[in-house]
Amino acid sequence: MKNFVVNPVLNKEFKLRFRTFKSFLGILFYLLALAILIIGFVFIESMTNSQGYFKPDQSREMFMILSVLQLALILFITPGLTAGVISSERERQTLNIMLTTTQSSTSIIVSKLLSSISFLLLLIIASLPLYSIVFLFGGISPGQLLTMIGFYTFTIITFGSIGVLFSTLIRKTIVSMVTTYGVTLFLAGGTAFLTLILMQLDRGFYNPAGGNNPFPYFTAMLNPPIVLLGTFQPEIIKEIQRGTGIEFPLWISFLISYTVIFLGALLLSIKMLRPNMKKG
């Protein structure tokens, strides 16, 4: 078990990723962008308020905006970090050397995935002090903050496994990255668009009575922004459940579906890393 968790591949990836100046520069600009957003939001709301101070309900709005923005950054950064972990080794002609070592396919794939998502987890941990500004004004509970962190971690692992899968299946890094971004865009934006369209069709000409149309539920459970906003605004989830007739919690459906995606992508990546080699 120790050799599986701590292995040469994982050690090399950690050293290459966290000892470069670009990594620390990326963290700096990431935190600066979030800090400017928070300070700017507080300043604008204070100036537009007739009483001249920041209210707790406005702090809740700031927390929601910050959470959605951070989710968007995560969905934008994850494919870039994971879509080339295997294909880049193949392009540098170092993959065959790695495959001749005693490291198993599972160890190589998991090490590549862990080293990639660890940088994103570091970004989330580094941004936690910025959320203290939200607690300073109130309106948010610690439980909501922990829920958000858990949601981010689960989303990063799932979309990271998708990037590793395409990096294993596709030989060219640029093609793998474009494919991963396309799938991410569909899951983050395309499913939201389909949910809105299907709900409007359910209320419109095709179904004047409305209700009992399950298709918007299945597209909404694949959409991370809808599930995240539903934790802050339960009315969104209730509206979807009322229109589809499905009372099953949307966040549980999200966990189940994305767990299946994660396991399927991970197992397929492990299998396709050595497609022509028999077990044993």
Q: Give a yes or no: residue 280 inside a domain.
A: no
* Cα gap 166→264, rounded to integer Å: 12
Rounded to 10 degrees, what is the CA torsion of 267, 272, 273, 274?
Answer: 120
Say whether 161 sits in a helix, a strand or coil: helix
pTM value surpassing 0.95: no
Q: What is the pLDDT of residue 280?
A: 45
SS3 108: helix
Residue type, 81: L
Q: Has residue 279 been placed in a domain?
A: no
How many structural domains comprise the chain? 1
What are the backbone dihedrals phi and psi of residue 203, each rounded to the nearest 5 degrees, phi first? -95, -10
* 278 in any annotated domain: no
**Helix (H) and strand (E) counts in the chain:** 15, 0
Which DSSP symbol is given to 188? I
Q: What is the pLDDT along the chain (280 residues), one digit of tens a residue?
A: 445 455 676 676 666 666 777 778 888 888 888 888 877 777 777 777 666 566 666 777 778 888 888 899 889 989 888 888 888 888 888 888 778 877 788 888 888 888 888 888 888 888 888 777 776 666 677 778 888 889 999 999 999 999 999 999 988 889 999 999 999 999 999 999 998 888 877 665 445 555 567 888 899 999 999 999 888 888 888 888 888 888 889 999 999 999 999 999 999 999 888 765 555 4
Angle between helical axes of 21-48 and 105-127 (0-180°, round to 10): 40
The CA-atom distances, in angstroms, between 248 and each of 39, 99, 199, 219, 245 are 39, 45, 18, 14, 9
How far apart, in whole angstroms, are the C-alpha atoms of residue 167 and residue 163?
Answer: 6
Domain assignment present for residue 261? The answer is yes
Backbone angles phi, psi at 127, to 5 degrees: -85, -5
Residues 6+ apart with CB under 8 A from 157: 113, 117, 262
| Residue 207 pLDDT | 53
How far is it, in rounded angstroms, from Cα 114 to Cα 12? 12
Q: Which range marks the domain in which residue 123 is found?
A: 2-273
Q: What is the DSSP-derived secondary structure letter of residue 53? A: S
Q: What is the pLDDT of residue 33?
A: 83
Both tokens of 19, joined, read 């000892």
Degrees, nearest 5: CA angle 37-42-44 = 90
Per-residue confidence (pLDDT) for residue 157, from 0 to 100: 93
The residue length of the chain stands at: 280
Q: What is the pLDDT of residue 205?
A: 47
